[in-house]
A and B are shown apart, each in its own frame.
Chain A
Amino acid sequence: KQEVTQIPAALSVPEGENLVLNCSFTDSAIYNLQWFRQDPGKGLTSLLLIQSSQREQTSGRLNASLDKSSGRSTLYIAASQPGDSATYLCAVPGANNLFFGTGTRLTVIP
């Protein structure tokens, strides 16, 4: 069974800092990997989808990388802002579902 791990569980940084969130998965036979943002008590907002054939995907200040062979993905956030404070989740697809990590709770301090 696929297992997804996210480290660290929580991260606190001053505004303006660049940061990296990590995601690892045990089964490298994946079609894609998706990063989500979740505000407290809210649903998931899709940030980036990386196909298995890609190594990187960028959207604004966000850059996600995927290394299937090592079972890892990173989400890089440049010039962090207080509005980036949220929980970030990564997910990989199974046969008909997504396997999620437990997320990294990010706090950006003004």
Chain B
Amino acid sequence: ETGVTQSPTHLIKTRGQQVTLRCSSQSGHNTVSWYQQALGQGPQFIFQYYREEENGRGNFPPRFSGLQFPNYSSELNVNALELDDSALYLCASSLGGEELNTEAFFGQGTRLTVV
């Protein structure tokens, strides 16, 4: 059991709306990363948060934004939703900083459908 929890598990939104996805990291982990996984593809990196600061970003537009809270939980916000944003959104928890060889643990994902 990984201890990483995501909410909600499923979500349907209309094009143009905004959405917030949530992730609780595993106890003792200070780093949260978000990934987007389209059907039949591998997960694509959106961004990472380490100790409440953004610590790297993938090739996603600024309408994808995030937050990390003092308890290391995190939010992913997507504005002006587009049909192509429909995907499984995955949150990964790890111990970052000087620990480079640590294992990443994933939540069960949030399935977002944009109609």
- The finding on whether chains A and B are genuine partners in a shared complex, rather than unrelated, reads yes
- Check B106–A4 contact: CB distance below 8 A: no
Give the shortest distance, in Å, between B96 (CB) and chain A (any CB): 8
B88 contacts partner chain A, Cβ-Cβ < 8 Å? yes
Contact of B101 among A32, A95, A103 (CB under 8 A): A32
Tell me whether A34 and B103 are in contact (CB under 8 A).
yes
Give which listed residue, A41, A46, A52, contacts B104 with CB less than 8 A: A46
| Inter-subunit contact A97/B42 (CB<8 Å) | no
Among candidates B40, B96, B101, residue contacting A51 with C-beta atoms closer than 8 Å: B101
- If A96-B55, A97-B58 touch, whether A43 touches B109 (CB-CB below 8 Å) is yes
Q: Which of B41, B90, B101 makes the CB contact (< 8 A) with A31? A: B101
With beta carbons under 8 angstroms apart, the residue of A36, A51, A52, A103 that contacts B106 is A36
A43 in complex: contacting residue of B33, B55, B56, B90, CB < 8 Å: B90
A83-104, CB under 8 A of B: which get 1 and which 0?
0000001010111111111110
Chain B residues within an 8 Å CB radius of A61: none
Q: Is the CB of B33 within 8 A of A97?
A: yes
Q: Give the size of the chain A interface in residues (CB under 8 angstroms).
A: 27
Assess A98 versus B92: contact at CB under 8 Å? Given A4-B42, A89-B42: yes
A79 CB contacts on chain B under 8 angstroms: none
Q: Say yes or no for B111: interface residue by CB 8 A criterion.
A: yes
Q: Which residue of chain A lies nearest to B39 when distances are taken between CB atoms in the complex?
A: A41
Task: Check if B108 is an interface residue, CB within 8 A of chain A.
Answer: yes
Residue-wise, chain B 19-61 has the 8 Å CB interface mask toward A (1 for contact) of: 0000000000000010100001111110010100001101000
A20 to B48, CA, bound (A): 32
Query: Is B66's CB within 8 Å of the partner chain A?
Result: no
Which residues of A are at the interface with B, using a C-beta cutoff of 8 A?
4, 31-32, 34, 36, 41-46, 49, 51-52, 89, 91, 93-103
